[in-house]
Amino acid sequence: MAKNLVIVESPTKAKTIKKFLGKNFDVIASEGHVRDLPRSNMGIDKDNDFEPHYITIRGKGELLAELRKAAGKADYVYLATDPDREGEAISYHLSVALKLDEKKSYKRITFNEITKTAVKQSMKNAREIDMDLVDAQQARRVVDRLVGYEISPLLWEKLGKKSLSAGRVQSVALKMISDREKEIDAFIPEEYWTICADLNVPGQKKTVAFQLKSEIKSAKEAKELKAKLEKSGFVVTDIKSSTRTKKAPVPFTTSTLQQTAAGRINFSTSKTMRVAQQLYEGVDIKGEGTVGLITYLRTDSTRISEEADRSVREYIRDAFGSEYEADAEGNDSASKAPAKNIQDAHEAIRPTDVRRTPASIKGMVTAEQYKLYKLIYERFVASRMKPVVYDIYTVTVTAAGETLKASASTVGFAGYLNVYSTEEDKNKENINLHGIEKGDELKCEQVNAKQHFTEPPSHYTESLLVKTMEDNGIGRPSTYAPTISTLLNRRYITKEQKNLYITELGQAVNGIMETAFPEIVNIEFTANMESLLDSIGDGNVQWKVVVRNFYPDLENEIKHASENLEKIKIADEVSDEVCENCGANMVIKYGAYGKFLACPNFPECRNTKPYFEKIGVKCPECGNDIVKRNTRKGRPFYGCINYPECDFMSWNKLVAERCPDCGGYMVIKGKKIVCSNPECGFTKEFEEAGE
């Protein structure tokens, strides 16, 4: 019987697939790329039509030898890397490194989910390597290498820091963050007022706020209207009943998963992708062994396969009743596209088996895996359920010639809410206006006039930045998380309470990029480049044509910037820590292991000390600062800066406020501030919990 070799990227994936294929198949992981452009030099021959020079990645020699040996013994080799451009490129480089063209008995297979059915079916649909997709990845790699290796040295020279880098996508993302901060700084708030009358409504214990519909711009006008309403009666002049339907959300794409996970389970984009990768590659499930729990995680499609659609609809009918199943065309236009075979990489992120509920696997996965799987599962099931129908009841009252309104919304038909609800759904206020009749005069308890100011644009969060990048066609599903991670790691931006802020270093880098390389940081240019890469992947454009057209302008800009840009000095951030040797305020430096404090009088004074992030709370035992620390395994906790003399610690973040009941220190737990004294039991709401 023929001996077969299957090559995948990761050991976890190899373990999962091996179980499905049996003893006649060896499954080995390449652990990602085996060939790449060299790190020590450009690796692109610009004089030879931009021909790339690939080398074996350092440390992969022994693995390649193992793969060559296994390929030599096999009758057939199947390249089963991920179903996207990057995966296609990895398969191509494996074919070259293992000299598989000499063997002639190798094929490319892909599967959107790592299940027995999908893997077996992929064998029947084995194909040749798609060189158009390989060329699209190669074009991206070459263009990005030209940008990075030609602009980065210029940044080193002008800013005097060797740790800097420029990137085609990251530079645009940095400019977007910078532009948003400029908008916020330039924003001039405008005053406006709202007036509400708290009226007694039959059948309601609390008063109901009826809001004045007039636009009020000044305190004087608000004061006059408030006084006029306080002297008037409030008569019901109109009652309207209506309905509103809200469609179910579509299944997740990469970007919508990242956005939703950030808001609902407080995952960063990189954490979402890391955990999703684990769920995709396989988790050990009791009674099943290792199995992939979700489909491929890098996708911009909301389509699902016909088989998955049938399965989830059957589940909905069994679990909730046929009245909850969505119409045949589903809730999204993408679902109307004809389903492709198992080779199709463009399917939404969904569970591989809808009968594998979150509750059924809860004890077999980590807490992080459970949270993300539950989110993906519930969104997928909801996508094939009927819309929610809201009954809207609006009451209009007239007072002193002015119109005030209040609306109540109740769920007439729950639809997908049985499975999945948004924050908007959760926060609906439950009031009942049905006891009112036209002509009733409602008693007013009080009239409230509140001053407001228009708000500036919000700072980017990771999820908002991903959404904006996607909306503008910048980057692709696989690039969002790495782009943000690079900006954070380079310290071009910082993250505080989820918001992203540009640093002084980031402003300096962005300033150079905007001045010297306006096309590189132009959103339309970057989006057009993504479209060109897609065209290469579709076989409509040759990859070297794209590079030939791109490079001359970059070359001219590099030369002009090198000759004309002045050097910029970036000052170190000054801390409030005083050097005990010379008395100077120490500055924050960055080393291989993160931040540390150093004396600014180096080399005369060489004093350094660890940097700890203060949280603005004093130690309840000794009065020194509480700082954020990490265990050896990386888990954060909060402890006294005076350790080891003071060994106070808490796994939960402390707040400065003391307990009003017992005087003990309080901590944040979920959405509550709670007293640390278990015998006290004091709690209160905390709006920024979990940040």
Both tokens assigned to 299: 């996708």
Contacts of 387 (CB under 8 A, 6+ apart): 245, 246, 247, 248, 326, 331, 415, 416
Query: Token match 């609800």: residue?
Result: 421
Q: Which amino acid is at 230?
A: E
Question: In this structure, are residues 76 and 105 in contact, taking their beta carbons and an 8 Å threshold?
Answer: yes
Contacts of 226 (CB under 8 A, 6+ apart): 195, 447, 449
Residue 234: how many CB atoms within 10 A of its CB? Answer: 22
Residue 691: how many CB atoms within 10 A of its CB? Answer: 12
Q: Which amino acid is at 41?
A: N
Report how far residue 36's alpha carbon sits from residue 55's, in angstroms, rounded to the nearest whole number: 6
Report how far residue 178's alpha carbon sits from residue 118's, in angstroms, rounded to the nearest whole number: 45
280, 296, 416, 665: the active-site residue = 296
Local structure of 213: helix, strand or coil = coil
Cis peptide before 11 (omega within 30 of 0): no
Adjacent-strand bridge partners of 395: 239, 406
Report how far residue 320's alpha carbon sits from residue 327's, in angstroms, rounded to the nearest whole number: 15
- Cα-based distances in Å from 589 to 152, 570, 611: 21, 12, 9
Contacts of 350 (CB under 8 A, 6+ apart): 251, 252, 294, 295, 304, 308, 376, 380
Is 393 a catalytic site residue?
Answer: no
Strands 493-496 and 672-675: unpaired
Exposure b/e, 365-400, CB count within 10 A at least 16 = b: beebbbbbbbbbbbbbbbbbbbbbebeebebbbebe
Report how far residue 170's alpha carbon sits from residue 482's, in angstroms, rounded to the nearest whole number: 9
* Cα–Cα nearest to 210, from 442, 421, 3, 370: 442
Separation of CA 688 from chain center = 19
Tell me the catalytic residues: 296
